Structure 1
Amino acid sequence: MPTDGAAAHDPIDIVLDAAALLYANGQSTGMTLTAVDRLNRGLNSAITLIPTWPSLQLTGPGDAIRVAAISPTGVSMRRVATAMKVIDRAQDGPLDRDTVQRGLATAQGEPASNTFLFSGACATGAGALAVIFGAHDPVTVLVIAVSAALGGLTRRGLGRLGAGILTQAFMAALIAGLLGVVANDLRIDGAVGLVVLCPAMVLVPGPHILNGALDLLAIRVSLGIARLGYAAMILAAIGAGLILGLAVGGLDLSVAQSGATVPLYVDVMAAGIAAGSYPVFFSMPYRMIVWPVGMGMLAHAAHWLALTVGHAGIATAALVSCLVAGVLLVPISHYLRIPFAAIGFASVVALVPGVYVFRMLSGLVQFAQLPTSQLLNSLASDGAVAALVIAAMATGLALPMHAFAVATANRAARV
């Protein structure tokens, strides 16, 4: 992409820079396309964006074509929010090209969250999830927090060495598995399953799952499948790390059972802490963290009430709570100019059925070695629950966003 000279002022290059920045940092495909439309109005251009998994292609007047080899594998809400502030000025009138370029350069230079703050957020997020899943022993929560913090430091260290996300996720999960073995050897009450599960939950690629669901709803099938496939690879890397770590002590993920039900006030408070931790992973501007915290507490209150008062199934409860969160977060994400998928996942992270996903992966390994009908039934049960809950969560969060996108497109078409 051009960076100097007259070519740098070509609208198609400016739009390409903006689209690539948004696409690479977690913005949904739909909002990236909307950003291109806004820049077209502000720059008085007619540029079309064609998004695919490995690249972005832009076509302009005449034979103008630009391609950026970039995949949507990152999440940085700070960069997206800064870029969208510049792009949204197009709604107020023509944009100065130099101003847009300076704004995009500022957005690109926004840093990721501080390493030690990132590690601390891993600890508080995993510890809060442990409480939600029924941990009562402070020692158990402490071990989980230490495991997640070590995993966070490892991920950042490997990232600086150039390791990819799959390696980072695998190593962090391996640490969680090894500490699960230690917890088992020390006979820490009820710790093994939670020590394994909770640090792994902070590795789940929720924004990619939600963005994939949004693409499928918008009939961008190949891109949606690619996003979900990428998320599945990360989940497989996490599962492999957990399995290998536990295998050192002769354990497996069958020890990771669901926790006990906790009181409403405990569930809501812990959900707020977890929801406040995840935005740090996604480099959200700190002044905005109050929004996912509030939505997380409200969503978990709805989930708790659906389960305990309404006696709904786990998938139905997840659908209800995610619909509540989705309806409220769509306008908030647009007002704050941050990726909906990231703030949405942060708000409902504790609903992710990680115990079923990772236990199913462990069961597949066991089934290959010693197939039994009992193990097959367990695999089918875990897989069905995981699939239903994930589908319910994705539907609950994605439908309000999709409805908003359709309404926005229809309104723009009438103008």
Structure 2
Amino acid sequence: MSEPNTGDQVERPDPLRTVLDAAVLLQNNGQSTSTTLLAVDRLNSGLGVHGVLIPSWAALILDGTQDRSPALVAAVTPTGINMRRVSAAMRTIDRAEDGPLDLAEVRTGIAAAAILPPAHPAAFAMACATGAGALAVIFGAADARAVALAAASAAVGGMIRRALGRYGVGVLVQAFAAAMVAGIVGAVAVRLHLDASAGVVAVCPAMVLVPGPHILNGALDLISLRISLGLARLGYAAMVLTAIATGLIFGLHICGQGLPVTGSVAAAALPVDVIAAAVAAASYSVYFSMPYRMMVWPVLAGMLAHGVHWWALSVAGTGVAAAALIACLLVGITLVPLSHFLRMPFAAIGFAAVVALVPGMYVFRTLSGILQLQANASTELLAATASDSAVAVSVTAAMAVGLVLPIWVRDILVRRADHRQQ
């Protein structure tokens, strides 16, 4: 009796391993967990296997017991955002589901998607500059020097982050270093007597660092009752925000300055606001390595959102939180179907559209006020800090509800459609 060819068995590609590789790529590059699970089901269908994905923060487990295969485990690091990789992988999954597509072709497509580079360092630095400059305009920086300083600060911070990343330095240190540069440049703005615009110079480059997609993906996981994964995502985002705030305040402090707690955020005129919103959305699209052909969608959605936000504040007379809710709900209703059709991570494409609505000024002023309370617990400082905190919390909650509600409804409809097909 001849012996079985064990060498062929070892070398034969495992379809379940290919499914797991695709899930790892999606999870590591910003795709929402719900869409990753849906992609796994679709790839299962295309390859004729029945793997069940069990996601967590540190690892993905693919249970193949229905195929009498052992469970497969792969480590993940879901801290990156690279929409080029996600888009390419989803195209391969689409082709596999539609079929017929050979397993080798699927493996080749997933492997090719995994090595797609992020945005070029020069484009990344330019996007940081234009994004921060646009945010400065939206927040009412009337002095061209303030806009230029914010843009230059963000560009330098972007180059520092890429340089540190090449040497294996972690995200938290990168965020701290870039935010410290923003604080130092903000202190320079104070010495140039830019008055109220000095705070904008400090805060806008720091807002470029905010991990918005991770916050949205964490909220989506919590709503879907993936509690541990959702809390892990939000915990990671909180650590990044803490590193940003610490670096910003430290940069100001070493130059003998502090972030002003009192004062108001000026509003730009409607045409200026809408154009700046388009620039900010395009900048964040580059920042998230979005395919250039798809940038038009967050840009258009961002312009529409800011027009509605401006109308709600200036004409309808709503509060800041209500205006943010209306604008983000509109973005969600517009982009959720598009993100599903284009197979793009909604957390990234949606955040790019509404980034300029993030209450970063209020968040950082709140943190600065809390630190100042230790030495000066005056009634005025306490009231200003409490007011900034209330605005930051209410606007953030309103934005989260507006963006998450449409995708939650979409997930329900998709699950019902899948059940009907089964």
TM (norm. structure 2) is 0.94
* CA-to-aligned-CA distance 1:373-402 (integer Å, 9 cap, x gap): 544433332222111111111111111111
- The 1:256–1:96 alpha-carbon spacing in structure 2 relative to 1, beyond 3 Å, is farther
State the match for 1:20 in structure 2: 24
The one-letter amino acid of 2:49's match is: S
* CA-to-aligned-CA distance 1:177-225 (integer Å, 9 cap, x gap): 0011111112235331011011011001000011011111111111111
State the match for 1:181 in structure 2: 187
State the match for 1:214 in structure 2: 220
In the aligned structure 2, how far is the partner of 1:85 from the partner of 1:63?
27
Is 1:284 the counterpart of 2:290 in the alignment?
A: yes
In the aligned structure 1, how far is the partner of 2:412 from the partner of 2:49?
23
Is 1:153 the counterpart of 2:159 in the alignment?
A: yes
The one-letter amino acid of 2:286's match is: V
State the match for 2:54 in structure 1: 50
Tell me by how many angstroms 1:327 deviates: 0.6
Is 1:396 the counterpart of 2:410 in the alignment?
A: no
Counterpart contact for 2:261–2:384, Cα < 8 Å: no
State the match for 1:39 in structure 2: 43
Q: Which one of the candidate residues 134, 137, 151 is aligned to 1:128? A: 134
State the match for 1:191 in structure 2: 197
State the match for 1:253 in structure 2: 259
State the match for 1:353 in structure 2: 359
Q: Which one of the candidate residues 375, 378, 381 is aligned to 2:387? A: 381
Counterpart contact for 2:96–2:106, Cα < 8 Å: no
In the aligned structure 1, how far is the partner of 2:403 from the partner of 2:263?
27
Counterpart contact for 2:262–2:384, Cα < 8 Å: no
SS of 1:68 mapped into structure 2: strand
In the aligned structure 2, how far is the partner of 1:256 from the partner of 1:70?
43
The one-letter amino acid of 2:208's match is: V
State the match for 1:339 in structure 2: 345
Instruction: State the superposition RMSD in angstroms.
Output: 1.6
In the aligned structure 1, how far is the partner of 2:15 from the partner of 2:264?
54
Alignment of 1:157-172 (within 5 A): 157-172=163-178
* CA-to-aligned-CA distance 1:102-130 (integer Å, 9 cap, x gap): 00011011111010110011111111111
In the aligned structure 2, how far is the partner of 1:257 from the partner of 1:341?
32
Q: What number of residue pairs does the alignment pair up?
A: 412
- The 1:376–1:256 alpha-carbon spacing in structure 2 relative to 1, beyond 3 Å, is closer
Counterpart contact for 1:193–1:256, Cα < 8 Å: no
The one-letter amino acid of 2:341's match is: Y
Alignment of 1:292-331 (within 5 A): 292-331=298-337
Tell me by how many angstroms 1:329 deviates: 0.3
- The 1:373–1:258 alpha-carbon spacing in structure 2 relative to 1, beyond 3 Å, is closer
The one-letter amino acid of 1:21's match is: L
Structure 2 unaligned residues grouped into runs of 5+: 1-7
* CA-to-aligned-CA distance 1:312-355 (integer Å, 9 cap, x gap): 11111101000100011012112222111000000000000001
The one-letter amino acid of 1:245's match is: G
In the aligned structure 2, how far is the partner of 1:384 from the partner of 1:135?
24
Counterpart contact for 1:26–1:342, Cα < 8 Å: yes
TM (norm. structure 1) is 0.96
* CA-to-aligned-CA distance 1:261-302 (integer Å, 9 cap, x gap): 221111101100100100111111112111111111001111
In the aligned structure 2, how far is the partner of 1:72 from the partner of 1:272?
28
- The 1:8–1:325 alpha-carbon spacing in structure 2 relative to 1, beyond 3 Å, is farther
State the match for 2:99 in structure 1: 93
SS of 2:260 mapped into structure 1: helix
The one-letter amino acid of 1:406's match is: I
Q: Which one of the candidate residues 60, 63, 67 is aligned to 1:59? A: 63
Counterpart contact for 1:359–1:382, Cα < 8 Å: yes
In the aligned structure 1, how far is the partner of 2:106 from the partner of 2:212?
31
Tell me by how many angstroms 1:368 deviates: 3.6
SS of 1:253 mapped into structure 2: coil
Q: Alignment identity in percent?
A: 57
Q: Which one of the candidate residues 110, 115, 137 is aligned to 2:116? A: 110
State the match for 2:4 in structure 1: none
Once structures 1 and 2 are overlaid, which stretch shifts more, 260-269 or 59-68?
A: 59-68
Counterpart contact for 2:261–2:368, Cα < 8 Å: no
SS of 1:49 mapped into structure 2: strand
- The 1:137–1:315 alpha-carbon spacing in structure 2 relative to 1, beyond 3 Å, is same
Tell me by how many angstroms 1:372 deviates: 4.5
Counterpart contact for 1:319–1:396, Cα < 8 Å: yes
Tell me by how many angstroms 1:363 deviates: 2.1
In the aligned structure 1, how far is the partner of 2:21 from the partner of 2:359?
37
Counterpart contact for 1:75–1:342, Cα < 8 Å: yes
Tell me by how many angstroms 1:94 deviates: 4.3
Tell me by how many angstroms 1:6 deviates: 4.6
In the aligned structure 2, how far is the partner of 1:306 from the partner of 1:281?
29
Counterpart contact for 2:362–2:388, Cα < 8 Å: yes
